[in-house]
Each structure stands twice: as structure tokens, then as C-alpha cells.
Structure 1
Amino acid sequence: MNLRLGLNILLVVGIVATVAGGAVLMFRDSGSSEGITITLDEPALAVTPAMYAEVPTTIKVYVSGEARHPGVYELPADARSDDALQAAGGPTSDAALETINLAKRLSDEDHIHIPGQADTEVMQIQDEASLPTASAGLPGQGGSRRLNINTATAEELTSLPNIGPSRAAAIVDYREREGPFDSVDDLTNVGGIGEKITDSIRDLVAVR
């Protein structure tokens, strides 16, 4: 009876082992042939008008003045003033190119004006007219009145260009020691005052 029980147990163990082995083989075959697929949802890409906008590759500028063919010209987006001038046929013989920056980078709708020599002469005359002249006189003296170096005080002398308190005092000391000045050129005899300083105030002083 014990022998039969032992045989039955061995038979059951063998059946269980056979079934388990078959299950393992089926799992391996299934995994190797099909595998596992994982799908992730991608976020939707937002489409904006800016994605379709094109970067401009050209610009339009207006060239006027002393160019051979003034007008509106289409140029590359990275063009400079000289490119616009050349597109307009180049400068005329009267163009004052030294007054403009030919290396300036341009933008769309820019206006490049090429002045002529006559334009620069007018501007120069206007600039010179705005500068003070000797005929305008000294502050507080009015008109074309010049400062008399034989009677002017040290304080009045300091109103002259390049004449500070020490030089003004030197002029007064020289005048008191040597007597009145005979001419404006006598100022060169004063210590600390040479020809350059004398020339710089010549039209502002007088000897009376």
C-alpha cells in the first residue's frame, strides 16, 4: 500500500511539472513574437500667424539731391547709404559726399539726401554768422567798442580771452611802470604775454 501511495505522488508531481513547463514555453513564445507596445499621446502644436510670416529680404528707400537719377529704389535688406547712391546712378560732380555717412545701414522707407556744394556753403555761412566777432564788442561794452588798454582796470582786462587775473595785473603794472602803451603790439613786452595772446585779442582792444 505504501508503494502505491509513493507511485501516485510521483505521478502527480510529474503532471504538475509538465503543465508548468508548457506554460513557461508559451509565455516566452508569446513575448518574443509580439512584444509590448506603449503609445504616448503627443501634445498638439499650436499654429500661429507668426510661423507663416516671412523675413523681408528687401527694402525701399528714397534718394534725392545730387544723385544722377534720384528716385525710389529697392535694395537688399542689409544695404547701406553707398548702395542706395550707386543704385541712383552715383553722385553728380557737385555732390558734397563728405557731409554724409555712406557707411550707414539703411532701413525700409529711409530718405537719403545728397547735398551739393552750394548747400554746404550756405550752411557754413550760417554757422559763421552765429559766431561772435570782434565787431560785436565785449560783454557790457556794446556795439563795436574796443577796450582801451591804457585806461582799462585789471577787472576789465580779464574780460578779454586768454587774459586771467595774473596777466591783467601784469598789464596794469607794466603800464604804471613804463607809461601808456603806444600800440597794441607793445603788449608783447609784458611778461607772460606773447605774440599769440596779443593776436588773439588784437581786434578787441585799442590804444588811445
Structure 2
Amino acid sequence: MPGPSAGPPPTVAAGGLIVVDVSGKVRRPGIQHLPAGSRVADALRAAGGVREGTDVTALNRARVLADGEQVVVGMPAVQPAAGGTAGGGGEGAGQAGPTTPVSLTTATVEQLETLPGVGPVLAQHIVDYRTEHGGYRSVDELREVNGIGDRRFADLRPLVRP
């Protein structure tokens, strides 16, 4: 199975294998050794499958995995910081940032939307960049995403990790 054509290929461990951490609502969470070019669906199978009743609609099961990546299954989106600017359960631009840094490598579109100034279109651009380039190796790569200028990058930098 060939990987994405744009950008460098994901790093590969010895023997043509990648190592991923599958966590959350799977039958056997933990480290999985998979062939290079494996997809999220392959990692889920290796972890014994998703637990019954788990919603995986936000998980792109067709995405090609990168070595060292974490796949989080069925966990709630990152919540806004307590005492922040978020209104009483409202959604959108008024939300405060997440309480812990959001992983650019594993976050869903919904999790990325919890970041200040990130709506559904920009969140999708962030995910698309990740898919095309085999993940994020540095937070600075966020500057290359369509729609992120210097000001937005400065706002997002302390709230994300590769």
C-alpha cells in the first residue's frame, strides 16, 4: 500500500515496521508494531477492535499512520479551560483554549476546533496537512497550514504539541 505522495515518507522503524500507541476504547490498548503504510483501521484491528458502543465517526480510519503516533479511540474532545471565556456550553469562536496541549498528530477535527480561532475549515486544513506530510514533527510546521498566519500561529503555539 503506497503512502501519501506529498512530502517525505513517515519514519519507519527497523524491518519496515512502524510503532503506534493505540489507547482509549479498544479491547487491547497499548503499543502495536505494524507494517509501514498501515492505516488507522489496521491499528484498531491490531488492538483487538473497538469496544462495543464506541462512536468512531470522528476517527479517520483510512488515514496512513506515522511511526511513533498515538491513536486515541472514543475519548471526549478536549474541554475548554475552567473559568475561561467559554459561555454556558456554547460552541464556536468564544471558547477558551484546551487545558492540556492538543496533539497535532492525533487530534480530531472536533478537538482542533476547541482551539481559539480554529473553526471547522481551518481544523480540516490542519488534518489535511498532517495526512499529506505524514504527521507533524514540530509545532512550527503549523505555519505551513493554509489559513495560519503569524498572529494565529502565535496564539496557537502554546496550546499545541506535535
TM-score interval (norm. to shorter): 0.3 to 0.5
**Larger relative contact order (C-alpha < 8 A, sep ≥ 6)?**
2
Structure with more helix by fraction: 1
> What's the TM-score, normalizing by structure 2?
0.40
Larger Rg: 1
> What's the TM-score, normalizing by structure 1?
0.31
